[in-house]
Amino acid sequence: MMRQKQGEEAIVSNMSEVENEEQNNDQQENQSMFSVKSFLWHGGSVWDAWFSCASNQVAQVLLTLPYSFSQLGMVSGIVLQVFYGIMGSWTAYLISVLYVEYRSRKEKENVNFKNHVIQWFEVLDGLLGKYWKALGLAFNCTFLLFGSVIQLIACASNIYYINDKLDKRTWTYIFGACCATTVFIPSFHNYRIWSFLGLGMTTYTAWYLAIAALVHGQVENVTHSGPTKLVLYFTGATNILYTFGGHAVTVEIMHAMWKPQKFKYIYLLATLYVFTLTIPSAAAVYWAFGDELLNHSNAFSLLPKNAFRDSAVILMLIHQFITFGFACTPLYFVWEKVIGMHDTKSICMRALARLPVVIPIWFLAIIFPFFGPINSAVGALLVSFTVYIIPSLAHMLTYRKSSARQNAAEKPPFFMPSWTAMYVINAFVVVWVLVVGFGFGGWASMTNFIKQIDTFGLFAKCYQCKPPVVAAAPPPHSHPPSLHH
């Protein structure tokens, strides 16, 4: 009885500490509105998390969705966006539940996270053991690595439509150096203004694509033959799987919140907003250009050059810089923990320590300069496990025992009748993504990816660039025309 009483007192004490911390966070949240530095730099509110999720979900993939529609056809393109958007929101919810469970267990053990950013692989380690930690670390880091690579390739691809005096490979060198400056951004607390601006830029670009395509009208003899081949169909489907699989950074965004428990439905609300950007823009561009998109993975390449398009390109470039930082920051954290620099308070020391992470990303962007096919390959082979399969399996295993379900920090949501229903949905997600996403999608995307390598080769200098215009040579033995006065 005495031991039980002491245990209850410890829990009450811990809860009071959490309440005090929440009160301090409320004060911090209120004070932040009166501090310019905090307003621009130090964010941790629900709105900050919403902007981070929505901004991180759509970047360069906005430009490849019309390409996916040409592979899938209009109906499948819209249906799969809604389907994978809802499925992605569900697994983001599962990740948030597991984070809260892990943190509540650790805080009962008086573990302090003041100078430590919790990451997904640590949640898996704490709840399921070292093998799950290794699995989560491998998939998450590889996904984020290639996500960063895609941003660099997309930067070079986009700027080329404004200035084609330099080839795309040279632009990749330049933007690699620019994106390396993200090493100076300490954590997701410091993305407040960037997330807000990033979403504004994406919103402009999405509506520019939709309106410009409608104003342009359909090209002559336009055809909408998709879907025509299984390889193309599943390549497009996995690109959409990738679109709504941007929550490899969910745990880091949650940890940056003053009240992580409020994250539950933020990802769903962000996804609903993203639908208003992705569906109209992809549908309008596909309506206007049809099968021409099969050879143009970047929608900018088909739209006429004018001030509106150039503005959209520039805004997307800035946003891709922000998204590069989003994808790289968790990698920076992992690297800091490996070399023992994660607790260092000096921004310059941490920035210097982070630089080795950027170099392989830079190199891979130069080797594989085709970001449309890479999106699909990453979606099938990495996102399928990182974002959909592992969170669903982890949730099922964490709450497999009745004692774990009774003591769960988060109970099933109000719209879910029981734990059994949650198990059924999780099992469906695992089977669907394993068969359709990883199986068929992996086969199709790798077939398409290898085709791109065979067509253009590795280290392609200017992927999908227009051939240079060569002046016609004069016929042999020709004489210059005589001048008449």
- As a whole number of angstroms, the distance between CA 28 and CA 22 comes to 9
Residue whose token pair is 């929440």: 22
Q: What is the DSSP-derived secondary structure letter of residue 298?
A: S
**Residue 131: which pLDDT band, with cuts at 50, 70 and 90?**
very high
pLDDT at 21: 46
Q: Which amino acid is at 83?
A: F
Angle at 189 between CA 184 and CA 194, to 5 degrees: 70
Tokens of 249: 């950074």
8 A C-beta contact, residue 270 and residue 56: no
The mean per-residue pLDDT over the stretch 209-234 comes to 90
Confidence of residue 460 (pLDDT cuts 50, 70, 90): low
First and final CA of the chain: distance in angstroms?
119
E-state strands within 410-478:
none
207-242 exposure pattern, b = at least 16 Cβ within 10 A, e = fewer: bbbbebbeeeeeeeeeeeebbeeebbbbbbbbbbbb
- Report the alpha-carbon distance of residue 430 to residue 238 in Å, rounded: 15
pLDDT tens, position by position, 135-163:
999 998 888 888 888 888 777 777 877 77
pLDDT in tens, 192-205: 788 888 899 999 99
> 311-367, pLDDT tens digit by residue?
998 898 888 888 888 888 889 999 998 888 877 878 888 888 898 998 888 888 877
| Global confidence as pTM | 0.81
Q: What is the pLDDT of residues 228-242, one digit of tens each?
A: 888 889 888 888 887
Share of the chain above pLDDT 90, in %: 31
Q: Which amino acid is at 128?
A: L
Tell me what the pLDDT averaged over the chain comes to: 81
**Lowest mean pLDDT across 47-51, 182-186, 281-285:** 182-186
Nearest Cα residue to 237 out of 452, 92, 387, 445: 445
Whether the predicted pLDDT of 426 surpasses 90: yes
DSSP 7-55: HHHHHHHHHHHHHHHHHHHHHHHHHHTT-HHHHHH---SHHHHHHHHHH
Name which of 121, 372, 142, 162 is nearest 252 in CA terms.
121
Residue 3 corresponds to which tokens in the numbers above? 């031991």
The alpha helices in 306-400, defined as continuous H runs, are: 307-339, 347-367, 371-378, 390-398
If 0-12 CB within 10 Å is exposed, 13-18 middle and 19+ buried, where does residue 329 land? buried
Least trusted range by pLDDT, from 297-301, 386-390, 393-397: 297-301
In the structure encoding, which two tokens stand for residue 148, read together?
Answer: 């960063």
| pLDDT higher than 80, residue 252 | yes
When pLDDT is cut at 50, 70 and 90, the band that residue 43 belongs to is low
The pLDDT score that the predictor gives to residue 41 is: 56
Q: Which are the contacts of 404, defined by CB distance < 8 A and separation ≥ 6?
A: 398
Q: In angstroms, rounded to a whole number, what is the distance separating the alpha carbons of residues 284 and 280? A: 6
- How confident is the model at residue 372, as a pLDDT? 58
Q: Provide the 10 A C-beta neighbour count for residue 105.
A: 14
Positive or negative CA dihedral for 279, 285, 288, 293? negative
pLDDT average, residue stretch 453-471:
57
Q: For residue 275, what pLDDT is reported? A: 95
Res. 23: pLDDT tops 90: no
Q: Which domains are seen in the chain, by residue range?
A: 42-225+243-370 (1.10.4160.10)
Contact 418, 412 (CB under 8 A): yes
The answer to whether residues 238 and 376 touch, using CB atoms and an 8 Å cutoff, is yes
Lowest mean pLDDT among 9-13, 154-158, 266-270: 9-13
C-alpha–C-alpha distance, residues 345 and 186, integer Å: 9
Token code pair at residue 410:
């988060």
